[in-house]
Amino acid sequence: MLGKMIDLHTHTLLSDGVLVPSELIRRARVIGYAAIAITDHADESNIESVLEQIRKVTVLYNSAASFKAVPGVELTHIPPCRIPSMVERARSLGARIVVGHGETLSEPVERGTNMAFIKARVDTLAHPGLVTAAHCREAAKKRVFLEITSRHGHASSNGHVAAMAIRHGAPLVINSDAHGPGDLISANAAINVALGAGLSIKDFRRMQKNAEAIVKKALS
């Protein structure tokens, strides 16, 4: 058994997604997710309002043991020098999962962003692009999870991220980076993404365990 999908990186119309948070959560629940984190894009301009609205919705779905919805945020295009304070601010405002928008190959992201997020101990570094050995060693030390993604464009570096993470001991998770209803993925689809990145079924199971641990910590 592959288990149910846990997706720690999704978006709603609170940033650049297309669904209201409740619909994204309910769609995930109906198709068999075990947990979902709503992690809309945020910076200094919108972090308070985004997290306030996400928290209002996610709290409604956590009474059932079989499904959890976690309030989070993806800090996006933050200057590296301001990343540590923004991570602290996100947590103080109620983000239980903080995702860092990494140095994806599909967007112009400032160099130094990956390491700044890792050193600030975000929970997950999303689509980190051409990660280095130093990134991976620091992620292993800080227990920051590097993302394998099913998102078009961002996924172009999945193979590199997977190989570097395995070589240098960095922990991995797999997420959809969903922006709409068609982006949510089943566990079977997720394992195909993992296999396509050069990972094994054993690696996928380890990623599932990592995601379970993140959710348990987030809601404790």
- Summarised one tens digit per residue, pLDDT across range 187-220 is 999 999 999 999 999 999 999 999 999 999 999 9
Asked if residue 64 has pLDDT above 90, the reply is no
Contact 207, 172 (CB under 8 A): yes
Q: Cβ contacts of residue 118 below 8 Å, gap of 6+?
A: 100, 125, 135, 138, 139, 142, 144
pLDDT tens string 108-118: 999 999 999 99
Q: How far is CA 103 from CA 25, 27, 118, 208, in A?
A: 27, 29, 12, 24
For the CA atoms of 86, 104, 72, 91, the dihedral, rounded to the nearest 10 degrees, stands at -20
Mean pLDDT score of the chain: 97
- 3-state SS, residue 145: strand
Asked if residue 178 has pLDDT above 90, the reply is yes
What pLDDT shows up at residue 193? 98
Locate 53 and state its tokens: 């609205």
Q: What are the extents of the domains in the chain? A: 6-218
Mean pLDDT value across residues 38-63: 95
Asked if residue 103 has pLDDT above 60, the reply is yes
Amino acid identity for residue 10 in this structure = T
What pLDDT shows up at residue 118? 99
Locate 4 and state its tokens: 């149910």
pLDDT interval class at 10 (50, 70, 90)? very high
Residue 58 CA to its chain's centroid (Å): 16
Q: Please tell me the pTM assigned to this model.
A: 0.97
What pLDDT shows up at residue 55? 97
DSSP string, 177-208: -BSSGGG---HHHHHHHHHHTT--HHHHHHHH
Contact 170, 143 (CB under 8 A): no
List strand residue ranges (DSSP E) for the chain, in order.
6-7, 35-38, 41-42, 68-75, 97-101, 124-126, 145-149, 172-175
Locate 178 and state its tokens: 């969903």
Q: Which residue has the tokens 């990343």?
A: 83
What pLDDT shows up at residue 142? 98
- Asked: is 6-218 a CATH 3.20.20.140 domain? The reply is yes
Mean pLDDT value across residues 60-77: 92
Asked if residue 52 has pLDDT above 70, the reply is yes
In degrees and rounded to multiples of 5, residue 122 shows phi and psi of -60, 165
CA distance 137 to 185: 29
Asked if residue 1 has pLDDT above 70, the reply is no
CA distance 145 to 44: 24
Asked if residue 46 has pLDDT above 70, the reply is yes
Locate 113 and state its tokens: 């962003």
